[in-house]
Copies of this chain bind each other. A is one copy, B any other.
Amino acid sequence: MPHPPDQLLLQLLAIFASAKVVGELFERIKLPSVLGEILAGAALGPFALGWTVPSDTIHSVAEIGAIFVLFSAGLETSPQDLIRVGRKALLVAVAGIVVPFVLGFGYMKWRGDASNEAIFVGAAMVATSVGITARVLGDLRVLATRTAKIILGAAVFDDILGMVLLAVVAGLASSGGLERLRLGVLIVEAAAFALFMIFVAPRIVRRIQPGMDRLSTQHAPLIVALVLCLFLSWLSANIGMAAIIGPFFSGLMFADYAPRWNLLPRVGGITEFLAPFFFFSIGSRLNVRLFAGDVLFAAIVISLLAIGSKVLGCGLPLWREGWLSGLQVGVGMMPRGEVALIVALVGLQSQIVLPSTYAIVVFMTAITTILAPPLLRYLFRGAMKAV
């Protein structure tokens, strides 16, 4: 008796299980499991086999999943550490943003694409995935090296700056075009929001902490954090930024108290359950048939630019410390992740970019993420022996 609730259960089961199985297979061949989850969506989704066509409800669950992916990322990013890592990481981050954006934007414009498409591709090329980089460096046991610390610090700054850029891009998406005044307002708004959440919000958490311990509802801090996460998500969507910016910064805000309130395993559990729906949904929107001729060529060029621009931009500030350090940092900053995918998704959903542009960004994300781990393993082989 296949009535609606059973359909929902069947989709939940099929998507969660297939994403996790392909993810596990990817881990076995030393590739990030996230790519496996995206591939499961692309293969089983409407553009390929068509076995599992996510319903609107699943896309909504995926959207909630994206909120928790970013909330978790924020929770694992201590604002204190960030302020401490200092100038070098910020320098690497800024150079690693400007070069990819300019090259990506430039190539798309030169190819004859509209400004909006070019801006989205440029923005998607900006954000380094902290999660994947940290995972690879951790697996190599080189997290204690100076270059690893610079990479992680810069990757976090990149995610934050990418987030600010996403706010601008999402603002463009909702206003529907490039208006100088609106653009200026958005940049100021996004920057003010980011600065407030990094410097002021954690102090507010410290202030309300004694009161939290007095609340009688079980799990009070978790609940307050969840309410704030949902509120900031709604707020950031409503003032014209992307809905995932709020969750990232609300995670950041609670990061210093996450161990004390045991937030990580519990929010991690939510993310573990919901994230596969997000990545599957990302894959299911990818029309693999588009990868031919022109689009495939553009996707390869954009991928090469994404690699070259990060190695160049991020490596340059470290060139004086030797070409190896420069290369290590540049390659470490290479993998793009959630933020790039969300930039592309925002563009696709608001019908500002074409399905082919979405495909180019997903391709670029996959290539940079696949190539980084083996390259890093090669570049850090000296440091690994030394440890």
Contacts and interface: CB of A to CB of B under 8 A. Distances in A.
Given A222-B269, A265-B262, A24 B216 contact: yes
Copies of this chain in the oligomer: 2
Interface string A228-257: 001101100110100100000000000000
A217 B8 contact: no
A230 B1 contact: no
Contact of A217 (B27, B218, B223, B233): B27
B234 A16 contact: no
A63 interface: yes
B223 A272 contact: yes
Contact of A226 (B1, B61, B230, B273): B273
A23 B217 contact: yes
Contacts of A266: 265-266, 268-269, 272
A8 B223 contact: no
Contacts of A230: 9, 12-13, 16-17
A238 B217 CA distance: 37
Given A217-B27, A230-B16, A231-B17, A1 B174 contact: yes
Given A16-B226, A230-B16, A266-B269, A216 B28 contact: yes
Contact of A8 (B60, B227, B272, B349): B60
Nearest to A266: B269
A321 interface: no
Contacts of A217: 20, 23-24, 27, 33
Centre residue among A13, A63, A64, A222 by max chain B CB count within 10 A: A13
A272 B9 contact: no
Given A13-B230, A13-B231, A272-B223, A237 B61 contact: no
B6 A234 contact: yes
Centre residue among A1, A222, A272 by max chain B CB count within 10 A: A272
Contact of A237 (B5, B20, B28): B5
Nearest to A230: B13
Given A27-B216, A57-B56, A222-B272, A13 B227 contact: yes
Interface string A59-90: 01101100000000000000000000000000
A215 B56 CA distance: 33
Contacts of A12: 64, 230, 234
A28 B214 CA distance: 11
Contacts of A28: 216
Contacts of A220: 24
A267 B271 CA distance: 11
B57 A60 contact: yes
Interface string A329-358: 000000000000000000001000000000
Contact of A270 (B23, B218, B234, B270): B270
27 contacts: A1-B238, A5-B237, A6-B234, A9-B230, A9-B233, A9-B234, A9-B243, A12-B230, A12-B234, A13-B231, A16-B227, A16-B230, A17-B227, A17-B231, A20-B223, A20-B227, A23-B217, A24-B216, A24-B217, A27-B216, A27-B217, A28-B216, A60-B61, A262-B265, A268-B269, A269-B269, A269-B270
